Structure 1
Amino acid sequence: MSSAVFLPVYRAAARGLAPFSGVFLWRRGRNGKEDIKRIGERRGRASQPRPQGRLAWLHGASVGEGLALLPLVGRLIAKGFHVLVTTGTVTSARILAQRLPEGATHQFAPLDAPAFIERFLDHWRPDLFILAESEIWPNTICAVHARNIPITLVNARLSPRSFERWRRLPGFISALLGKIDLCLAQSRDDAARLLQLGAPRVDAIGNLKYDVDAPPADPARLDELARQIGPRPIWIAASTHPGEEALAFQAHKALAARFPRLLTVLAPRHPHRGPDIVAEAEAAGLEAALRSRGEPIRPSTQVYVGDTIGELGLFYRLSSVIFMGKSLAGEGGQNPIEPAKLGSAILHGPHIGNFLDVYGALDSQGGAIRVADANALARQLEALFTDPALLRRTAEESRRIVGELGGATDKIMLALEHYIAHMIVSRPEAF
């Protein structure tokens, strides 16, 4: 099939499948992947009224993309916009509910079917549409463009692998990118790939994630956990994926002779795995406690599983030694910027393809340490526990590096302000 006709075929297929979306969403809801009470939002039915005045619609796929948009949310509110933020996951909805400021609203993004998108747009009538990273949904882009609503892609990134896939459909991707008014990329390489695929206006701005505030923590909960832990040596394995918990247990047991009071805190990327992780720890001969059950950290507790949503900021503040998951047993890594902002020494595995720039900066300047396996993880933990100067230096470097890499929000707002001013003159119907 010619790539030039792939777009109308895709649109027709999405239109034909829309009537079956109820069954699809219900099954996802049964598996915890949809909020049953808000499934109507996925079909374009708003659960809240549209506020008066100008409205900017910002969309990010999941937790990381949604949080990266927070600096823009505050700046747009200050410019007189109400901000609608859409994401596609239950976890992102729960976290954004805690962190969105007054003047911003969250909704689940409608599925990419023409009827759902049109229903969504009829209700919300956005004046500006801002997409994060690589969320290029064909029907959404076409519907928004057809209504003369300006479209901006911010924090845009396109990996070499994705670039090669899109090159096989040059007519399809160029038709979509041609409807995006402005692409603001994370790096020059991302910008170059977007230009080659047909984006008409591209600039390299930087990564918004460096400007996101460190995640909050409830002071009372933090004090209570700190009291339970006391002076024990502690490290955090954050956003872990299947297979990495077993490696954490291996590292713990390797260190136990030297540090018999060691506490390992696990914060899995998918909290519903908490009970299984506790069972795995106990099978490995370790005494474990589960946060969602209200189980305290006792002097005999060796593993504490933080299987809650929105409490990473709490766990990051319990220790200055953080291992970032999806990097030993997963692919792509997890974002280390938030713990780095809190002054943490970062450990990570080799699989960090989604965050090469930030890990490259941290590793090269001493703010992070790469480990290859559980034995290497244990060795680096021991080095940090026994050398306070090394721990302090690594933590200070991580905070300094991410601080110096910030500033993308100012550049994006400058580009948006100039662009919006031009749009008001040339396309007043959009405003």
Structure 2
Amino acid sequence: MSNGLASVALTAYRWAGVAAYPLAGAFLAIRAAKGKEDKSRKLERFGYASVERPAGPLAWVHAASVGETLAVIPLLRELRRRQIQVLLTTGTVTSAEVAARRVGGDIIHQYVPLDVKPAIKRFLKYWKPDIALSVESEIWPATIMELRRRHIPQVLVNARISERSFDSWRRHSGIAEIIFGQMALVVSQTDIDAERFRDLGAWPVSISGNIKVDSEAPPCDEAVLAHYAQQIGKRRTWVAASTFEGEEKAAVMVHRALKAHTGILTIIVPRHPERCDELEKTMTEKGLVVARRSRNDPITDETDILLGDTMGEMGLFLRLTEIAFLGKSLTDKGGQNPLEPAMLGCAILSGPNVENFRETYQKMVKAGAARMVRDPEMLAKAVHFLSNNDIPRHKMMDAGTECLQEMRGALAATIKGLEPYINPLTVKARLQPRAAQV
């Protein structure tokens, strides 16, 4: 696609957004009915602010959901340490709750405005950010073009791009060059990500590693953890985490294969909890006893499956086991990030389809922290072996901890890349009258 046609396509996108804007209320109402929007704060999605803008330089940081929010928390704290005000936007209710718990008193949170011109213009006119930082792979064309019009530097941090997304962008190379060419800086996670962003027109591009490695382990309610640990007792456990369709069936197959020999408790945490009613029905029809976290069902000696059907509690489920299988890797493609299980001392198992985290898995497999399984039978054998052999399991757990230590430093590399943009803001903040900073 030529640059001329790409410009026409982007203009059409912006005007299509304007035309669809009157329907946005109905769209958000449907999402709110499903629990995906906060009804009391829906105006924020149209760019209306719900709190006062603080005085002084302000960095707008956008993290789409829980994973990105947790990853960027160390960066948010570093910006505040440098006396820069931080506005964090997210797109999900759960990520807003995580932000409130982890950094709520130190930053401003708003829901991200819709990527339509009226909403984003209203948002930027009020907040007047000095820099806009997006996390991982958040690309919104109308927002990017409006930021360019206002000469606000745009930086993509902890940036990654999957092979599928890269191929899609390449098919629209003219649009990609315009969009990625607006970035003042892209700080990518891996060499492969950096190469892909450069091919799409981004410049300059640096490599930091994954800042999630420098973040804290996912939290959990200690009282709830103690409650479940007491009920589970000495039973062996394993977790199938962030599973997609078909992988729960595989987890059930593993459980049925191991149950008679080990009395194991299987914890299944689907990536999309709304599927859990149907999953529970299927499992009970197979004669399995299912406990659901959302109902606070007790774990008894007869319980086969603990169904993790809540959002934002992966830290709890991973702390209940030492063996974690990560989904979207057997029956789907892309894989899930192994960093959080490694932080919590789990031996990691995954299917072979981990394109989105290939370099991370390569490092962990090489270090002995992770193993790849090709099918449910191989998964069952791996879970059985690890649950019955303490020394190999603990070696994997220790290797994960050591591998994380070697991978740390991404936050420092990210800050170094951002210094030309944030150092002037720190100077500006320090020159303000003290009263204006309150």
Fold match by TM threshold 0.5: yes
Per the alignment, residue 99 of structure 1 pairs with 102
Equivalent runs, 1:410-421 vs 2, <5 Å: 410-421=412-423
Calculate the aligned-residue CA RMSD, in Å.
2.0
Equivalent runs, 1:149-298 vs 2, <5 Å: 149-259=152-262, 261-298=263-300
Separation in 2, partners of 1:189, 1:215: 27
Separation in 1, partners of 2:83, 2:75: 13
Q: SS of the residue aligned with 2:165?
A: helix
Per the alignment, residue 407 of structure 1 pairs with 409
Matched, 1:12 2:25: no
Question: Which has the higher mean CA deviation after the structures are superposed, 92-101 or 321-330?
Answer: 92-101
CA positional deviation for 1:346 = 0.5
Distance 1:101 1:91, change over 3 A: closer
Per the alignment, residue 79 of structure 1 pairs with 82
Question: Kindly, what percent of the aligned residue pairs are identical?
Answer: 44
Between Structure 1 and Structure 2, how many residues are aligned?
A: 425
Per the alignment, residue 428 of structure 1 pairs with none
Q: SS of the residue aligned with 2:359?
A: helix
1:344 to 343, 346, 350: 346
Per the alignment, residue 433 of structure 2 pairs with none
Matched, 1:89 2:92: yes
Per the alignment, residue 375 of structure 1 pairs with 377
1:321 to 311, 320, 323: 323
Per the alignment, residue 392 of structure 1 pairs with 394
Separation in 2, partners of 1:18, 1:289: 43
Per the alignment, residue 26 of structure 2 pairs with 23
CA positional deviation for 1:101 = 4.8
Separation in 2, partners of 1:335, 1:106: 25
What does the per-residue CA deviation read over 1:60-79, in whole Å, with 9 as the maximum and x for residues that have no partner? 22222222211111111111
Per the alignment, residue 52 of structure 1 pairs with 55
TM-score, with normalisation over the residues of structure 1? Answer: 0.93
What does the per-residue CA deviation read over 1:269-323, in whole Å, with 9 as the maximum and x for residues that have no partner? 2223333332222112111111211211112111111212222111111111111
Q: Which runs of 5+ in 2 are unaligned?
A: 428-438
Distance 1:235 1:86, change over 3 A: same
Equivalent runs, 1:100-115 vs 2, <5 Å: 100-115=103-118
What does the per-residue CA deviation read over 1:36-85, in whole Å, with 9 as the maximum and x for residues that have no partner? 33222211122222223222111122222222211111111111122221
TM-score, with normalisation over the residues of structure 2? Answer: 0.92
Separation in 2, partners of 1:212, 1:424: 23
Q: SS of the residue aligned with 2:118?
A: helix
Per the alignment, residue 309 of structure 1 pairs with 311
Question: Which has the higher mean CA deviation after the structures are superposed, 114-123 or 185-194?
Answer: 185-194
Separation in 2, partners of 1:387, 1:167: 47
Q: Contact (CA 8 Å) 2:183, 2:202: kept in 1 or not? A: yes
What does the per-residue CA deviation read over 1:144-198, in whole Å, with 9 as the maximum and x for residues that have no partner? 2222222111112233433332233333222222222111111222222222322
Q: SS of the residue aligned with 1:323?
A: strand
CA positional deviation for 1:424 = 8.9
Q: Contact (CA 8 Å) 1:344, 1:399: kept in 2 or not? A: no
Question: Which has the higher mean CA deviation after the structures are superposed, 389-398 or 276-285?
Answer: 276-285
Per the alignment, residue 147 of structure 1 pairs with 150
Q: Which runs of 5+ in 1 are unaligned?
A: 426-431
What does the per-residue CA deviation read over 1:97-146, in whole Å, with 9 as the maximum and x for residues that have no partner? 33235312322211110110011112222122101122121111121222
2:70 to 64, 67, 71: 67
CA positional deviation for 1:423 = 8.0
Question: Which has the higher mean CA deviation after the structures are superposed, 93-102 or 329-338?
Answer: 93-102
Separation in 1, partners of 2:149, 2:101: 34
Q: Which has the higher contact order (CA 8 A, sep 6+)?
A: 2
